[in-house]
Structure 1
Amino acid sequence: MEQRRIEGKSHWYHETQSSASRAHALPLVPEAATVNDPFLLDLALPETQKTDLEGIVSPARKLYALLFPQRVSTSRLRTFSAYDRLSTALTAAQVFGVQRLCNHYAARLAPLSGPDSSRESNYRLAQITQHARQLAASPSVIDARARQQLEDVGLTLYDLVIINQIIGFVAFQARVVAVLQASLGQPVRFIPGMETQQEADAALFSDTLTEWQPGIDIVDLRIANAPQMESLARWQPLPELRLLAHLLAHEHLLLNELGEMSEQVAKISPNKQQSWLVAAYTARINGSMSCFNQCVQRGDGDEVLVQALRAGSRELNRVLAGKNKESALVQAVQMLTCAPDRFSPAQFLQLEEQGYSRQAAMSLLVACALHGWLNRLHIALGQSV
């Protein structure tokens, strides 16, 4: 079949190939490209809620600007173009199904010219799209072979950091927007028939002695520049970034903003035990053994609960039977992690009915969203051995 270069997308369900069109096609919601707040996408929040979230939203906006600038200069070391970035973001947004995000990234992508019609360009885009879909929908399937496939089509070390940061960022954004929409009482709007994320295989968590190792080269301290060294000195001591910092420092500006968010989320966590449960269960669902093991090593959960988490949701629900507060939290984390487009006001209300304040519920759910991002980075940029 002849493959052609086109310069527009007529809808937000993006494919790597589309039919040719002589006219520029507009996205379904073209105004979605020009929102005032590109992270919250112009959600109208009460002032108190804005204030509570400012420490997280401010670095998130800066991250958006770094990941999706209006113009991107490519080079031999950094080949990921504006089209690559936005098509990756749209692919991930489609997996998560939150329409506000799909509209936005489709509108940003629509005016951009796609890659040329060569076989190499088509194959490169297909591999990028496949990686984005897999890491978004089923993080645990990503392995060293997936990284090698990206390297085989020309992605560099810096590109690998960027693509996985984009997917993690959109995963975080989708869940924060879903939680805020639920807190405002907005009804869910999802596409019937779309698959939801499945819990990772319990076999991944049977080995308690695994260690995480980087899957790409870390920043070489002998040749690192001053900003990279400053970023490492600041963020490597943070438990959430201890293993990742030497990899993410290749793009130290992104690391700085992710570090700011991680630090802020830790500060607003309302309860150490509940925060531990959110982090551990999110890692368990996503299949991040390294993140799960870090939770276990911190020792904030009893052994019975740890073993229940290893076994999976059925055993966890059995162990938590009668513990209504923890059960409500687990159910909310499961829904937000597996199907953010279906996270409804009912889930938020259930947390409040079990005694969580609105602020506590929000902080725990935002932590769940952030851990999903960190899980994906651990899985995509390294492996447990």
Structure 2
Amino acid sequence: DRFTALRRHARLLVLAPSTAGPEDIAALRDAGWSAPDIVTASQLIAFVTYQTRLAAGLRALGSLPAEGGELPAYLAASEGRPFTADALEWDAWVETVDVDRATPEQLAVLEESLPTAKTSPYYLALVHDVTALRERSRLYNAIMYAPRGLDRRDRELAALAVSRVNGCVYCASVHARRFIQLAKDAAPAEAVLRHGTAADTGTARRRAVTDFAVRLTREPQRPLDLAALRTDAGLGDTEILDLIHVVAVFAWANRLMLTLGEPRPIPEETTA
């Protein structure tokens, strides 16, 4: 029935998003869930994964004990996925909004979200729920592009590390390229893409940022040690808070990417 299908989708999205496939969306559709319903439910569930990691980070920053307790095991992505720094396309498994038939409100939130949102299948899927997309885009843009606080290179490296753990090939490719553009150094990003989050990223600061991102992603219920961020990375509390937000928002972003569609290479004729 409808709610059995939703419970299955929620468990998949929270605990094993990298195993999702088009058949999971088809199961929701067969149970009577429309594309707007699926997007709204997925946004809500993924948002809670952001809240969970944000709360865990804030507890650590405030020197409060972790909430602890045993949670169902999170299935991190297997090592066989085709991570790359090449640009990729993304195809939706849910029906997308036809931009020529979009409402004025849908067009407005697309324009606010990203310059290329009107041609992005990802945004044309998410715009089924205008309110959720607007709030998600504003939060994401504030976290990733704030003019002060944590260095942008650290934000992009953390986003790459979280995406690598979660198995989000598309997000990993985007944020690997952004890190490379900002750092003028491809080696750290290429190492994470090829060898995983235990790879040598070159400096104690990058190692501390990556280790923290991985721990908060995988085990938000466990105690978090901020010592390396303060000593090895030299981060103050405001910068650590920025880092917590980056890790948390990619719990949300990766899960939407992984469960609503899939990446594919750009055809060679369009990149020539």
Deviation at 1:259, TM superposition (A): 1.3
Determine helix, strand or coil for the equivalent of 2:129. Answer: helix
RMSD of aligned alpha carbons: 2.3
8 Å CA contact 2:157–2:176 kept in 1: the answer is: no
Asked if the contact 2:99–2:124 (Cα under 8 Å) also holds between the matched residues in 1, the reply is no
Q: Which runs of 5+ in 2 are unaligned?
A: 265-272
Specify which structure has the bigger relative contact order, considering alpha-carbon pairs within 8 angstroms and separated by 6 or more residues.
2
TM-score, normalised relative to structure 1 = 0.62
Q: Deviations over 1:220-269 (max 9, x none)?
A: 22322111111111113279x96532111111111111111012112155
Shift of 1:147: 0.7
**Is 1:310 aligned to 2:199, yes or no?**
no
Structure 2 matches for 1:119-130, cutoff 5 A?
121=1, 124-130=2-8
Q: Alpha carbons of 1:142 and 1:373: their partners in 2 closer, same or farther (altered >3 Å)? A: same
Q: Which of the pair has more CA radius of gyration?
A: 1
Q: Partners of 2:65 and 2:135 in 1: how far apart?
A: 31
Structure 2 counterparts to residues 42-191 of structure 1, below 5 A: 121=1, 124-191=2-69
Query: What percent identity do the matched residue pairs reach?
Result: 23
Query: Structure 1: how far apart are the matches of 2:131 and 2:227?
Result: 37
CA contact (8 A) 1:135 1:141 kept: no
The alignment of Structure 1 onto Structure 2 pairs a total of residues equal to 256
Alpha carbons 2:87, 2:174 under 8 Å: kept: no
Q: What is the aligned partner in structure 1 of residue 79 from structure 2? A: 202
Q: What CA distance in whole angstroms lies between the structure 2 residues aligned with 1:201 and 1:169? A: 24
Residue type at the aligned position of 2:176:
V
* Ranges in structure 1 where 5+ consecutive residues have no aligned partner: 1-120
Alpha-carbon shift at residue 148 of structure 1 (Å): 0.8
Paired position in structure 2 for 1:320: 201
Question: Is contact 1:336-1:343 (8 Å) kept?
Answer: no
**Aligned 1:280-295 pairs, distance under 5 A:** 280-295=160-175
The answer on whether the counterparts of 1:179 and 1:343 sit within 8 Å (CA) in structure 2 is no
> Secondary structure at 2:81's aligned position in 1?
helix
For 2:102 and 2:87, locate their aligned partners in 1 and report how far apart those are by CA, in whole Å: 32
Deviates more, 1:267-276 or 1:202-211: 202-211
CA distance in 2, matches of 1:167, 1:256: 16
From the superposition, tell whether residues 238 and 339 of structure 1 become closer, same or farther in structure 2 (CA, over 3 Å).
Answer: farther
1:254 paired residue number = 132
Return the alpha-carbon distance in structure 1 between the equivalents of residues 162 and 40 of structure 2. Answer: 23
In the TM superposition, residue 206 of structure 1 has moved relative to its aligned partner by: 4.6
CA distance in 2, matches of 1:243, 1:343: 38
TM-score by length of 2: 0.86
Match of 2:267? none
Match of 1:40? none
